[in-house]
Every structure is written in C-alpha cells, then in structure tokens.
Amino acid sequence: MSIIIRNGRPQVTESLCNSCYWAHIQRGFAESEETILCAFLRPARLVPFKVSHCTDYNDKRVPSKSDMEEIAWIIRTKDVNRQVGFTKKESAHETEKEDEVEIVQSE
C-alpha cells in the first residue's frame, strides 16, 4: 500500500512572523497566550494563524544594506593609485614583486 500526498504542507512548522521585521509579537506565560500583529501596512493588523508564505516578509536576521555599510571597514593605502581589494592572479604576482624587500646579511 502506498500513500501519495500532493501539495502537502508540513504539520508542525514555525511561523514566518517569528523572524519577520514587520511582526509585533506578544507572548504570555501559557502557550496559547500569543498575539501577532503585522505592521507592514498601517494600521497594524492581527494575524490569527501561523504564516507559511508572505509576500512582504523581511527577515530581521539578515542585515540590511545600511547595517552592512555601517559595519564595513574602510581600507586606506599608502599609494593613492594602488588598487585595493581582490586582484587577479597575474597582478598579484606583480604586487608581490613590488613589495619584496631584499635582506642582505652584513659581515
């Protein structure tokens, strides 16, 4: 005997609202005490069920562009015309040759 399930949904999953930027979640001490409000559009509206797909979902665990710009390092070089960052294999060898210093032992 085989069972075929088409377009099935998982029975126990976490709601997208738990990780959404737009969600306002209030939880009480009991498992049944939970209120979720979606603040994507004003006024915020009540979400009465667990959400599996949302067109306006914005994952708050992923940093935004402005957050990434804020934490980015500013790289300064001594030579203004020198490129900063990743280089091709050929140009990397040229840079290494420029940066090499010859050490001579004194007698």
Task: Kindly state the helix (H) or strand (E) to which residue 25 belongs, with its residue range.
Answer: strand 23-27
pLDDT of residue 2: 77
pLDDT tens digits, one per residue of 47-85: 999 998 999 999 999 998 888 988 888 777 677 676 667
Confidence at 100, pLDDT banded by 50, 70, 90 = low
Output the average pLDDT for the chain: 80
| pLDDT higher than 90, residue 90 | no
pTM: 0.54
Give residue limits of the domains in the chain: 16-97
Please report, for residues 32, 75, 78, the alpha-carbon distance to residue 45 in angstroms, rounded to integers and kept in the order given.
19, 45, 55
3 vs 77 pLDDT, higher one: 3
